[in-house]
Amino acid sequence: MDNEETKAPLPDLVQLITPNYTGPMIQRYFAGAWSMHLPFAWDLIKEFKPEVLVELGVYRGESYFGFCQSVAGHGLATRCYGVDTWRGDIHMGSYGSEIGCSITADTPLSRNC
């Protein structure tokens, strides 16, 4: 049998790497440069409790959604904004509009796709 009911749920990435980890269960790991910093981002938001959070450079949203998860997880009233051209830059190179559109599908960001 190999249906949905018999499949074990996938373990969290952090639990795989460090089984004794007791920090927050981050919902979205994209294996990007921000992955290892997301538990820190969780704590940072918890401590600072910002009224407004603006991220310049969202890309696929790994850090942005990490910030948002902490805002939601701590019941904060922080207003979150993500700003990006979704075209890339001189450091990371250029990319197509599909990245920005995938972000828009998950958030009420104002970009039209």
Ligand X SMILES: C[S@@+](CC[C@H](N)C(=O)[O-])C[C@H]1O[C@@H](n2cnc3c(N)ncnc32)[C@H](O)[C@@H]1O
Dihedral sign computed on CA atoms, order 30, 31, 34, 37: positive
Residue type for position 44: L
Rule CB under 6 A: say whether 85 interacts with ligand X. yes
Radius of gyration of the chain, Cα coordinates, nearest whole angstrom? 16
Structure tokens at 80: 């979150």
- Decide if residue 83 touches ligand X (CB under 6 A): yes
- Which region holds residue 28: left if phi is over 0, alpha if psi is between -120 and 50, else beta? beta
Which lies closer to ligand X via its Cβ, residue 6 or residue 69? 69
Q: Is 67 one of the binding residues for ligand X (CB under 6 A)?
A: no
CB-nearer residue toward ligand X: 2 or 73: 73
1-60: contacts with ligand X (CB under 6 A): 32, 34, 56-60
Q: How far apart are CA 92 and CA 53, in angstroms?
A: 23
89 binds ligand X (CB under 6 A): yes
**For ligand X, which stretch binds (CB under 6 A), given 3-11, 45-53, 86-94, 101-109?**
86-94
Q: Least distance (Å) from ligand X to the CB of residue 5?
A: 35
Could you tell me the two tokens for 57?
Answer: 């450079």
- Binding positions for ligand X, rule: CB under 6 A: 32, 34, 56-60, 62-63, 83-89, 92
